[in-house]
Amino acid sequence: MKVETHKIARLHAILWGIFSLGGMIAAFLLPVLIYMTAIAYPFSLWPFSGSRDPSFLVTGHLLGALFIFVTIAGSLYHGIFRFQSALTEVGLLKYRRALEAVGYFIIFVGIIVLAYYLVTWYLNGTIT
């Protein structure tokens, strides 16, 4: 039983570690991505006042694809993890297991789909 408890504690520590990393990513990288895609591009502001558009962020070069993956995957993990945790604090504690299951499912599917698109574009030469 003690070994099992230690394993669970270690898993929790890893998950919270990834959560913290996601928090740093969401804090430092997500604002600039939202600015570029939701303000600069629709309103033709710097840096998209010229001929370039946000698709260049994704496929312009490998660093851009890595930026997109790290920012979106990290933010998704952090956002879902924190939100499902917040739900348990407003009266849904008894549904904790179900909330965790749904949360991790969304995170898993989201990250796999994102990675699939980026790897496919890298392999077929769309990402240069």
Partner 1 sequence: MEDNERYPELRRRLSPGWWTANRHYTMYMVREWTSLFVALYSLIFIYGLSLWAMDSRADFLNFLKNPAIVGFSLIALVFTMYHAATWFYLLGAIAPVRIGRSRTKPWQALVLNLILLVIISYLAIWLLALR
Q: Does the footprint of partner 1 cover residue 76 (CB under 8 A)?
A: yes
17-36 footprint of partner 1 as x/- string (CB under 8 A): ------xx-xxxxxxxxxxx
Of 14, 42, 98, 102, the residue at the interface with partner 1 (CB under 8 A) is 42
Give me the long-range contacts of 17-25 (CB less than 8 A, separation at least 24).
18/77, 19/77, 19/78, 19/81, 19/82, 21/74, 22/74, 22/75, 22/76, 22/77, 22/78, 22/79, 22/81, 23/78, 23/82, 24/74, 25/70, 25/71, 25/74, 25/75, 25/78
Q: Which is nearer to partner 1, 14 or 52 (CB)?
A: 52
CB of 86 to partner 1, least distance (A): 4
Of 47, 101, 102, 108, the residue at the interface with partner 1 (CB under 8 A) is 47
Q: Does the footprint of partner 1 cover residue 91 (CB under 8 A)?
A: yes
Q: Does the footprint of partner 1 cover residue 102 (CB under 8 A)?
A: no
Tell me, what amino acid is at 78? H
Binding-site size, partner 1 (CB under 8 A):
58
